[in-house]
Structure 1
């Protein structure tokens, strides 16, 4: 059984879906749990119920929003991919520091495949645990925001929040 909880944030509702042990399987700036579950790999799907006890992630999100920009670093996530590059790219994504966004080109380079810019972009697009894995810290090669599943105003707010921290 998975659990979900929605937090109010300055940029709208943020919903997390976790395992009983508190590992995050999906997260995003929405209240639409079915939409979040559509991002989860089929091998990680399970019934979901509402429960405010989703482990340490609620407190970590609150702390992050209050200015502790490293509060999310220790949150455990569970995502599935068949490809080794994607798995590694998600690990690298977690190492992108708040206030220091990188371009897709730099992200591909950090991930060990400097010419795999589209694969780096795909790692961002397939990230089911927004905010926890900070895909918002990856920008277009020209430095502009690019896309973000939860909207460019959310991405912009997150980047400004981190730059101010």
Structure 2
């Protein structure tokens, strides 16, 4: 059985989902189909500490064991998201080019939207080619908040 911990953040409650010693989910919205028991595990405590540090501007790079469950294409997209520097953005087209997607930006947008570990796997850093926010599973106000937060702290590296 997976474990779950809910934490309070500036963008609302976040549910952390662990499977033993790996993080498998971080959700800002209501996800469907996840069965987890509330628990306090070392992994979920460490995740909560790092997420809290991120939200106060003291952490830019997460260091947590994760398992990204998805198709090979989705995992390729999510692995590429992990290379987007803190405080920076790329377009869906740039992401498609980086993963070598002949299917294009819509396919990477769909994979981006299925990211199970948001914030840590920074899907919020992907925007439309014209600079507009595009979609975000947690809602556009959360995406705007995350981008503004990172921009404000991008030059500051305390941890």
Normalised by the size of structure 2, how large is the TM-score? 0.86
Distance 2:101 2:75 in 1: 13
Within the candidate set 135, 138, 147, 1:147 is matched to 135
Query: What's the offset of the Cα at 1:149?
Result: 0.9
Query: What's the offset of the Cα at 1:69?
Result: 3.8
Query: What's the offset of the Cα at 1:37?
Result: 4.8
Normalised by the size of structure 1, how large is the TM-score? 0.83
Distance 1:55 1:114 in 2: 40
Displacement over 4 Å in runs of 4+: none
8 Å contact kept, 2:24–2:67: yes
RMSD: 1.8
Question: Are residues 1:80 and 2:69 paired?
Answer: yes
Tell me the residue number matched to 2:26: 27
Tell me the residue number matched to 2:86: 98
Tell me the residue number matched to 2:3: 3
Range moving further from structure 2, 12-21 or 50-59 = 50-59
Deviations 1:48-75 (A, max 9, x none): 2101322521111011112134242x22
Question: Are residues 1:58 and 2:53 paired?
Answer: no
8 Å contact kept, 2:50–2:59: no
Count how many residue pairs are aligned between Structure 1 and Structure 2: 151
Question: Are residues 1:36 and 2:31 paired?
Answer: yes
Tell me the residue number matched to 2:116: 128
